[in-house]
Structure 1
Amino acid sequence: MGVLLLDSINQPADLKQLNEKQVEQLCEEIRSFLLKNISKTGGHLASNLGMVELTVALHRVLETPQDKIVFDVGHQCYTHKILTGRRGQFEQLRQLDGISGFPNPNESVHDAFIAGHGNTALSLAIGMAWAKKLHHEQGLVVAVIGDGAFTGGMVYEGMNNIEHLDNLLVILNDNKMSISKNVGALARYLTHLRTTTAYVDAKDNVRGFLDAVPLVGTPLKNTLTDCKTLLRRAMYHSTMFEDMGFQYLGPVDGHNVEELERTLRTLRGRPGPHFLHVITKKGKGYQPAEVNPGNYHGVSAFDLDGMPDPEVAPKESFSTVFGKALVTEGEKNQDLCAITAAMKYGTGLQFFAHSHPTRFFDVGMAEQHAVTFAAGLASQGMLPVVCIYSTFLQRSYDQIIHDVNLLQENVVFAIDRAGFVPGDGETHQGIYDPAFLSQINIPLYAPSNYQELTYWLQQLLSDRFHGPRAIRYPRGGQDAVLAGFGCSGQEYDYLYKNENATIVLVSYADELTDVLQAAQELKQKDIVCDVLKLVKLYPFTEKVLDELIKYQKILFAEECIANGSIGEHLEYALQQKGWNGCFIHLSVRDVRLPHASVAQIKQATGLDAASLVQTVQMAVTKGESLS
């Protein structure tokens, strides 16, 4: 292969020197680059393949960082990173000491804001646009929003507050809407006319003329405007955005750089706020991703030459085991419903959706609605299971407090991706739910293997329980060692029990792997420790507290924030029983976790086996509490 054009693009200014043919070549090279690298590192594939031309056009027209580009969700920013000097770092994408899979201002001045969760871009862009106006700064603020973000309410809250921001442009990256050939062709033709200088000048001349005509001028202008609005509503339903104060343009072909550039240059020269509707194809340029973009939304490393069948279920994981178990429970209980927030496949609920379609609800990127919707179902005798990633569940905390917990509605929370999550970094860690759920006394269970997950899910869905309760489990598959312990059906279990041990290591879920390893290494150093596994994390039973007060030293390790965590609750509960031993609490004290493997995150937080061993040794030697 000869010298690539992409190799000469080291900053956005380099793009502006290219001709039309070179731009087309560059887009092809970027798409090949993305496929080659993401197949090795994993990452968000389909969305980035669909964003190539739009991102190139933005950087050919805008001047970042003076102009701001805010992505919603940030996982569609890979082409942006390539064009802003980070091409050479893609071999370390989402890896320790490498670049993040999301925008982050700490990584580049061209990244306007951190963006790991959805629905946020418009509110951020409005704030930035107002700041520019208040500081009398030049520059446009652009919010690039996927159509999925419009399933979340925060976008509409933002649209309701755009005021008269003449420096704001919102781009809807619509990769799902289907437009028929006739309507699409007409819409594209009208958009082409509306983005020409002649159209804008004629529009201004007509307005000016009518404003100057006494008596009938203003009514006639209003009539013409109403007719235009009715026509556009009949064609492609754009007036919702105009009713909120935007000047709407579109739809525009999101894979035609020339058309995109012409439109963007026109809009940049006119006062906003503008709303540009762009049509793209998710997974563009890679057939498997085009056919099934959902399966190629976020991927692990994969074989480019392979053509995996998108209908084949993913390999066994906590998510798929949960999903299949829920199907079984749904067959037994006709009141059971399953709710997710735009994560049907990620949470394993595709099985329930197929088996019980009338009782499955994907509410889109709307976690707050998901929880209150569940409360409404529960208030009328249904049994809703709300299945959401831990990092996204935190967005619905007020609804959990107010709409579910106050009336003790019968809602089960299934918390996927609990604990440390590899790759996605600080925005996607499941380290908060034990703290915020325990604050409001919601029973919380954490199985450490598939058997426990299946058993405790069945229990939590039975008449034995009522009111809000939660079960949390990690991303990926079970650990072979933890799987070997099976399921006793007890809320806590000793995994190691030694006669006359004065030290106990306590933990739950995946962290138990490191705790067990640490106990073995400590035994080789003549430090004998018991290992206690919690399945029920909170509230504590008197039985488990009575067991723990027998020990002189307790080390509690958890993949959770330190403040308000299970460890803090446990230490306080033991003190209330009169225990005054040495309590060592190891948890997450710096929440800005790296994008890395789980093992590397554990090392960074001191929750790996080696760190546990060292901590216990110091406590034994010095007799100190290190909590």
Structure 2
Amino acid sequence: MTITPGPLLNGIDSPEDLKKLSREQLHQICDELRQYIIDVVSVYGGHFAASLGVVELSVALHYVYNTPYDQLVWDVGHQAYGHKILTGRRDSFPTNRKYNGISGFPKRGESEYDTFGVGHSSTSISAALGMAIAAKYKGENRKSVAIIGDGAMTAGMAFEALNHAGVADADMLVILNDNCMSIDQNVGALKEYLTDISTSQTYNKFRDDVWHILGKLPVGKNFSRDMVGKLEAGIKGMVSRSSNLFESLKMRYFGPIDGHNITKLVDTLNDLKKIPGPKLLHIVTVKGKGYTLAEQDQTKWHAPGLFDKVTGEIYKKKFEVPQPPKYQDVFGHTLVELAEQNKTIMGITPAMPSGCSMKFMMEKMPDRAFDVGICEQHAATLSAGMATQGLRVFCNIYSSFMQRAYDQVVHDIAIQHLPVVLCLDRAGLVGEDGPTHHGAYDIAYFRCIPNMVISAPMNEQELRNLMYTAQLESNTSPFVIRYPRGEGVMPEWRTPFEEITIGKGRKLKDGRDAAILSFGHPGNFATAAIRELRTEGLDPAHYDIRFVKPLDEALLHEVFSKYKHIVTVEDGTVKGGFGSAILEFMAEHNYQAQVSILGVPDRLVEHGTLKELHHECHYDAPAIAMAVRQILANQVSVTPHGVLATDNPVSFRGELNG
């Protein structure tokens, strides 16, 4: 389907074209840009409401600044669609988040206008400050601008960067986009603080008067710029203590101003370009601006999928038979069930209550479930603190976001041997969000930590039983449960709880000649592969290992005693992951076998649908079936070091590693 941009937007192939427009035409270009985003996302999908809220800001920034020489850093990047369209990617925008298409986030390798790759929040101020310091050192008169949402401002890293920026004497601007939203509603004291600033009529009127007066003061021999700054700060302090948070960090504070007033934005940015040093502009916007339904339900319209832009109907697949639930919903409902039985259970998530379904417990038990904002490190240590008092905390963090709390897991949870349950949603490849969000590394980075239990369910029943096991008093260790994004395999998933022996796998099917060892959801791919292989007269065994730490050594002794051809399957990196654990066991016990490791290859995997990415990475059902055929036919090419020459699968012979 061809989507035609408006007449002005159709003529903009770079910010240089945008600068040719008159100020009066900026209103029209904003309207056309907003409509183009609505048209494309409704048909092709993607993040939605965030970019609508910063259309005017995107236009103003590229109109005022000399990009890409002046450098813009968009925090997270959900809101950067307008930026992409204005910087030469208008015609390719329909490929956004599609396999082999443009990225849904700013990406340095994609455009010179994308100055910093983003995906995780709260990095923009640090990056822009680094650029500003570099410009000062090199004697370059380039500007650095960080655009950060108020949700991302809750993270400790943002405050660390502000703390440094105030004394770095570097020329940078932080634009605080205040819309009271991240994906869900913002929480915490900072939200209330910013609300106080933006709603204080007395402060805002007096502030405008102050700016007007200061703008007329002569700056010369008898009235220096420093004196103007001191007078400005003094008057701000008398009028309102609200501005002092940023002023106390030596960031000159301006605002709040209407982030949808394009004329005001352009004038303000032009003024701020002339003011040296670190400064912060506070703008107030509406997430979803210009599309009424998105304004009214901003969480729902953060990334709604395909929809009818006229009626607002979000298209859902229609099925004649019941479909499996999403793993995250099984987690959310199961947590409520367990919490009703066990009064010590608490729930914590860093800003993802809808995404991870912690919202169910927060709605039913608001005194026992907490959204702590975009603060993964705090979430982990908060969980540890609660655990010291005998509470059973389910801390739900996306796998790729858990990377940010690694030190806290090691230092505050594992070393102190606290039985915090770390639920890693979106483990494995996540699809269209791409490499910043793929949860490929958690098996490897947790497997090396002592005192950890690391598990993965193959289906919804297993997820429920692992959650049940983790909260029992008999479990005294940190307990990781990793599961993928999206649907499981069991429409009838509300099964009775059963305790699982920690470190105990299961044999799903006996077989001949070869064995498939799976960890987590990819076990379902193995089951499908076995069905295909049986039509060819091949009959491999299948073992669901369940726990990568501790391993079920009794089960593995059975496997290596019986089979000389083994295929391992996981949705984590092949380096240091589940397959590596199997090789370590094989070497430690002097077994000899040919092992082919299937999983996420040792390279960055870009974005696409899960089906496309599983196929690319060679661990979908056809790839598993092919690996079994090859290993039985002895077609695997082994180097002198025992590693297959291609990036995936990885194959080893025991005699080369023993």
Q: What is the TM-score with the length of structure 2 in the denominator? A: 0.87
> Cα–Cα, structure 1 residues 569 and 122, in superposed 2: closer, same or farther, change >3 Å?
same
* Percent of pairs with identical residues: 34
Q: How far is 1:487 from its partner?
A: 9.5
Q: How far is 1:546 from its partner?
A: 2.1
> Cα–Cα, structure 1 residues 315 and 151, in superposed 2: closer, same or farther, change >3 Å?
farther
For 1:330 and 1:481, the matched residues in 2 are separated by 23
Q: Quote the residue 2:234 is aligned against.
A: 227
1:609 to 606, 621, 630: 621
Q: Quote the residue 2:303 is aligned against.
A: 298
Q: Quote the residue 2:510 is aligned against.
A: 497
For 1:81 and 1:211, the matched residues in 2 are separated by 41
* 1:422 paired to 2:418: no
Q: How far is 1:393 from its partner?
A: 0.6
For 2:442 and 2:509, the matched residues in 1 are separated by 28
Q: Quote the residue 2:51 is aligned against.
A: 48
For 2:464 and 2:10, the matched residues in 1 are separated by 51
* 1:455 paired to 2:465: yes
Q: Quote the residue 2:355 is aligned against.
A: 346
Q: Quote the residue 1:253 is aligned against.
A: 258
1:575 to 587, 602, 614: 587
Q: What aligned pairs does 1:106-121 form with structure 2 within 5 A after superposition?
A: 106-121=109-124
1:175 to 158, 170, 179: 179
For 1:77 and 1:410, the matched residues in 2 are separated by 40
CA contact (8 A) 2:399 2:439 kept: yes
Q: How far is 1:517 from its partner?
A: 2.8
For residues 325-348 of structure 1, give each alpha carbon's deviation from its aligned partner in whole angstroms, at most 9, with x where no partner exists.
111111122221100000011010
Q: How far is 1:404 from its partner?
A: 0.3
For 1:222 and 1:179, the matched residues in 2 are separated by 24
For 1:178 and 1:265, the matched residues in 2 are separated by 26
Matched to 1:478, the amino acid is G
1:506 to 517, 525, 544: 517
Q: Quote the residue 2:365 is aligned against.
A: 356
For 1:405 and 1:438, the matched residues in 2 are separated by 12
For 1:333 and 1:622, the matched residues in 2 are separated by 53
2:62 to 56, 59, 63: 59
* 1:528 paired to 2:539: yes
Q: Quote the residue 2:217 is aligned against.
A: 202
Of stretches 93-102 and 501-510 in structure 1, the one that deviates more from structure 2 is 501-510
Of stretches 329-338 and 606-615 in structure 1, the one that deviates more from structure 2 is 606-615
Q: Quote the residue 1:385 is aligned against.
A: 394
CA contact (8 A) 1:448 1:509 kept: yes
1:124 to 120, 123, 127: 127
Q: What SS does the corresponding residue of 2:335 show, helix, strand or coil? A: helix
Q: How far is 1:416 from its partner?
A: 0.6
CA contact (8 A) 1:319 1:416 kept: yes
For 2:301 and 2:565, the matched residues in 1 are separated by 48
CA contact (8 A) 1:452 1:486 kept: no
Q: How far is 1:203 from its partner?
A: 6.1
Q: Quote the residue 2:268 is aligned against.
A: 263
Q: What SS does the corresponding residue of 1:397 show, helix, strand or coil? A: helix
* 1:165 paired to 2:169: yes
1:517 to 528, 533, 539: 528
1:35 to 33, 38, 46: 38
Q: Quote the residue 1:105 is aligned against.
A: 108
Of stretches 113-122 and 578-587 in structure 1, the one that deviates more from structure 2 is 578-587
Q: Quote the residue 1:146 is aligned against.
A: 149
> Cα–Cα, structure 1 residues 100 and 191, in superposed 2: closer, same or farther, change >3 Å?
farther
For residues 20-61 of structure 1, give each alpha carbon's deviation from its aligned partner in whole angstroms, at most 9, with x where no partner exists.
342112111211211222222322211111010011000000
For 1:204 and 1:211, the matched residues in 2 are separated by 5
For residues 275-308 of structure 1, give each alpha carbon's deviation from its aligned partner in whole angstroms, at most 9, with x where no partner exists.
1111111111122221221222233223334457
> Cα–Cα, structure 1 residues 239 and 392, in superposed 2: closer, same or farther, change >3 Å?
same
Q: How far is 1:524 from its partner?
A: 3.4
For 2:425 and 2:300, the matched residues in 1 are separated by 18
2:474 to 455, 461, 464: 464
For 1:112 and 1:378, the matched residues in 2 are separated by 42
Matched to 2:477, the amino acid is G
Of stretches 440-449 and 98-107 in structure 1, the one that deviates more from structure 2 is 440-449
For 1:404 and 1:347, the matched residues in 2 are separated by 22
Q: How far is 1:373 from its partner?
A: 0.8
For 1:610 and 1:484, the matched residues in 2 are separated by 30
Q: What aligned pairs does 1:322-341 form with structure 2 within 5 A after superposition?
A: 322-341=331-350
> Cα–Cα, structure 1 residues 365 and 477, in superposed 2: closer, same or farther, change >3 Å?
same
Bigger helix share: 1
For 1:612 and 1:56, the matched residues in 2 are separated by 49
Q: What SS does the corresponding residue of 2:66 show, helix, strand or coil? A: coil
Q: What SS does the corresponding residue of 1:474 show, helix, strand or coil? A: coil
Q: How far is 1:620 from its partner?
A: 2.4
For 1:233 and 1:203, the matched residues in 2 are separated by 25
* 1:588 paired to 2:595: no
Q: What SS does the corresponding residue of 1:143 show, helix, strand or coil? A: strand
CA contact (8 A) 2:514 2:563 kept: yes
Q: What SS does the corresponding residue of 2:280 show, helix, strand or coil? A: strand
Of stretches 183-192 and 529-538 in structure 1, the one that deviates more from structure 2 is 183-192
For 2:105 and 2:356, the matched residues in 1 are separated by 21
Matched to 2:219, the amino acid is D
Q: Quote the residue 2:188 is aligned against.
A: none
For 1:223 and 1:571, the matched residues in 2 are separated by 67
Q: What SS does the corresponding residue of 1:108 show, helix, strand or coil? A: coil
For 2:6 and 2:422, the matched residues in 1 are separated by 53
Equivalent pairs counted in the alignment come to 609
Matched to 2:472, the amino acid is S
Matched to 1:562, the amino acid is V
> Cα–Cα, structure 1 residues 221 and 348, in superposed 2: closer, same or farther, change >3 Å?
closer
1:445 to 451, 455, 466: 455
> Cα–Cα, structure 1 residues 485 and 455, in superposed 2: closer, same or farther, change >3 Å?
closer
CA contact (8 A) 2:198 2:256 kept: no
1:92 to 70, 90, 95: 95
For 2:278 and 2:229, the matched residues in 1 are separated by 20
> Cα–Cα, structure 1 residues 193 and 229, in superposed 2: closer, same or farther, change >3 Å?
closer
Q: What SS does the corresponding residue of 1:447 show, helix, strand or coil? A: coil
Q: How far is 1:486 from its partner?
A: 11
Question: Unaligned 5+ residue runs, structure 2?
Answer: 181-193, 315-322, 639-650, 653-658
For 1:608 and 1:115, the matched residues in 2 are separated by 29
Q: How far is 1:554 from its partner?
A: 0.8
For residues 248-294 of structure 1, give each alpha carbon's deviation from its aligned partner in whole angstroms, at most 9, with x where no partner exists.
11111100010000010111122121111111111111222212212
2:556 to 542, 545, 549: 545
CA contact (8 A) 1:191 1:252 kept: no
Matched to 1:102, the amino acid is F
Q: Quote the residue 1:215 is aligned against.
A: none
For 1:131 and 1:233, the matched residues in 2 are separated by 35
* 1:475 paired to 2:485: yes
Q: How far is 1:159 from its partner?
A: 1.0
CA contact (8 A) 2:348 2:369 kept: yes
* 1:563 paired to 2:578: no
Q: How far is 1:126 from its partner?
A: 1.0
Matched to 2:617, the amino acid is T
Of stretches 72-81 and 220-229 in structure 1, the one that deviates more from structure 2 is 220-229
